[in-house]
Amino acid sequence: MNIQSNEFIEALRIITDFLTGNMKYFLLMFLIYVCRNGISNFLSRWTSFSFRNRESEIGIKASTSQDEDKSNVSSGDQLENLENKEKSVDKIIEEKVEEKSWFVEMYSAFHDGRIEDAKEAFSRYELAERNNPEFTKNKAFYLYFLFVEGKDNTAITQLEELAESTSDEEIKYHILEWLALCYKISSQIMKEIELWEGVINKTKSEKLITSAITNLAQTKIRDGAPEYAKKLLIERLVLVDEESQKSELFLTLAEVEESQKNNKLSVFCKDKSLEYDVNNRDKLFSSAYSAGEEKIEEISISNYINLLQIDRHNSLALNNLGVHAKEAGLIIKAVEKYKKSADLDNTLAMSNLGYLFLNAGFTEEAEEIAKKASQIHDPHKNVYSLLSTIVDKKDEENKKWNEIIENSSKKQKQIRKYTEQFYIGSSNKLDGDWILSSDDSKIININSINGAVNVAWTELTGINSSSSYKVELIGIITGSSFSGRYKRNKEGNDTQFVGILGRVGFNKDVACIGFLSDDEMILNVVAENHKDSLALSFYRKK
């Protein structure tokens, strides 16, 4: 996972902490706000941020709208049910929104560019909640938005002063996280480093020290000092016993190794972090995906399985297990996983399943599932690729099929001529000299008295080549036809040459049949098997 993604995760964690602290006030209001007015771009990323890659998919949060537990109603049903209860909800809003609506009001104003309205919304909240223990944390959150959305540089100074004003380590750390994000956004990396070094030196809480060390390590990675970051993390690992801290340290070590292109070690560190945080769904998925990308199947498969044991309707994990099964040649198992994922409306799984159907020749089934997937909101791009491939594959096979039909008809006519001459033809009609149509210097003589064709000639291997083939046509005459073999062997030891397509064989040995044209002036020699390529014509020498 790249550094930019880590910055987003860091912001996500801080925002989640903020919302958790105010959950009793915001949860219902936030859900109603989403359903009634739609969610803004920034907030929507909290639950749908994902990466997609070929047949596999990765999400910062595995529980997207495609991953809802099927025991619950679908997202559409949820919207419908909430709308049906609008009257009772409005009553709750009247009671609760006035109390804690500042967040939605503030962010909406920032988002719309109404900076003064955002400031007023927070000022009203400040007057009402100044004595609330959570107020200081919420103010830090507001000041971050004031800097980022309000473009107010004084917000950084206010954050610095706010951090100095509190002696509570937890609250101070929370404020400093927002301040560090402001430094990061404004590319003040040395101030970031000084901030985290100060926290490490002044903080007493072991948990906060570990968190600060991981933040400092991430900053050092961006500052081009991954070895220093690694040293910090390893030294801390030796000292801590608490499992959540060990998990955090190993996860940050994974970032260090990835920054140094040590992708295998990065995968190992991600997996090791899960030993101390076994039920973390996001980490399980991230570890499994990263391992899959590096072809470390044992870790990838194990962590997808572990994830599905605690989140059996995770459509992303089901799809990616299907990819592993397919790569192992277990097509039945791959279909099983893809279908389970597709049943959860995962459009990438639908696409993967469609390709399996298409490659097995079930175009109607492939087209049906692709069309179904295309009607789901925000389908994976592979769905459209599948629809296009179906059309191309149909056209390609129709063209090849028409060629087969045409060649089959042509071959049938040749066989009928051969059959007729085999039974009622006269062998003496083959007697005489025959000139090879492709080289009039090559003349062969057939004498039916012997009851056989046994002729030979030489050909150059190429226009500017000095090497040559020895060609033989050997067969038994029956009627005015014959059946036998066409043999071509390069003279000398080398039986192959290296061309643009690799090593190509010179020699050829093909079963063939021969028959006369209607005017008996041409002797046609063709391959007996339609899979072999051979078509020679000899003209009767006058």
pLDDT value, residue 505: 53
Same domain flag for 454 and 396: no
472-476 contacts at long range (C-beta below 8 A, 24 or more positions apart): 473/444, 473/512, 473/525, 475/512, 475/514, 476/451, 476/452
pLDDT in tens, 104-113: 888 889 989 9
Give Cα 479 to chain centroid, integer Å. 64
- Is 70 part of any domain? no
Residue 72 domain-assigned (yes or no): no
Task: Indicate if 173 and 250 belong to the same structural domain.
Answer: yes
Q: Would you put residue 400 in left (φ > 0), alpha (ψ -120 to 50) or beta?
A: alpha
Q: Is residue 478 part of a domain?
A: yes
Q: Please name every residue paired with 496 in a beta bridge, in sequence order, or none if there are none.
A: 505
As for how many domains the chain has, the answer is 3
Is there a single domain that holds both residue 113 and residue 254? yes
Q: What is the CATH number of the domain that holds 376?
A: 1.25.40.10
As a whole number of angstroms, the distance between CA 521 and CA 27 comes to 93
In a domain, 39, yes or no: no
Q: Are residues 344 and 303 in the same domain?
A: no
**Domain encompassing residue 182:** 102-309
245 and 342 in a single domain? The answer is no
Long-range CB contacts for residues 414-423, cutoff 8 Å, separation at least 24: 414/513, 414/515, 414/524, 414/526, 415/513, 417/515, 417/516, 418/481, 418/513, 418/514, 418/515, 421/479, 421/480, 421/481, 421/515, 421/516, 422/478, 422/479, 422/481, 423/479
The pLDDT of residue 459:
86
CA distance 480 to 58: 71
H or E segment to which residue 52 belongs: strand 50-53
Domain assignment present for residue 254? The answer is yes
**Token pair for residue 163?**
């951090």
Residue 5's pLDDT is what? 46
Collapsed DSSP state (helix, strand, coil) of residue 510: strand
Statement to judge: residues 249 and 275 lie in one domain: yes
Same domain, 175 and 289: yes
Q: Which two tokens stand for residue 215?
A: 């933040």
- 247 & 346 share domain: no
Which string of b and e fits 198-221 if b means at least 16 CB within 10 Å? ebbeebeeebbbbbbbbbbbbbbb
How many Å apart are CA 522 and CA 480, to the nearest integer? Answer: 12
Q: What is the pLDDT of residues 119-166, one digit of tens each?
A: 999 999 998 888 887 889 999 999 999 999 999 999 999 999 999 999
On whether both 350 and 480 belong to a single domain, the answer is no
pLDDT at 100: 56
Of 374, 400, 424, the last residue of a domain is 424
Query: What's the pLDDT score for residue 378?
Result: 85
Per-residue CA distances from 225 to 6, 189, 501 (Å):
17, 12, 48
Maximum separation of any 2 CA atoms in the chain, in Å: 121
Residue 416 lies in a domain: yes
84 by Cβ neighbours in 10 Å (0-12 / 13-18 / 19+) ranks as exposed
For residues 138 and 284, membership in a common domain is answered with yes
User: Of 369, 393, 424, which residue is a domain's last?
Assistant: 424
Taking the alpha carbons at both ends of the chain, their separation in whole angstroms is 80
**CA–CA distance, 458 with 168 (Å, rounded to integer):** 98
Of the candidates 398, 399, 454, 439, the one whose C-alpha atom is nearest the C-alpha of residue 538 is 439
- In whole angstroms, give the CA distance from residue 96 to residue 346: 37
Domain CATH for 475: 2.40.128
CB-based contact 26:100 (threshold 8 Å)? yes
Predicted confidence at residue 7, as pLDDT, reads: 52
Q: What is the CA radius of gyration of the chain?
A: 38
**What is the number of other CB atoms lying within 10 angstroms of the CB of residue 380?**
23
Spans of the chain below 50 pLDDT: 1-5, 8-9, 20, 22-54, 57-99, 497-504
Residues 367 and 478 reside in one and the same domain: no
In the chain, count H helices and then E strands: 22, 12
In a domain, 489, yes or no: yes
Q: Please indicate, yes or no, if residue 476 is contained in any of the structural domains.
A: yes
Last residue of a domain, which of 309, 338, 356? 309
**Side chain identity at residue 169, one-letter code:** E
Task: Tell me the residue type at 86.
Answer: E
Q: What pLDDT, on a 0 to 100 scale, did the predictor assign at position 53?
A: 47
Regarding whether 294 and 157 lie in a shared domain, the answer is yes
Tokens 């503030």, residue located: 106
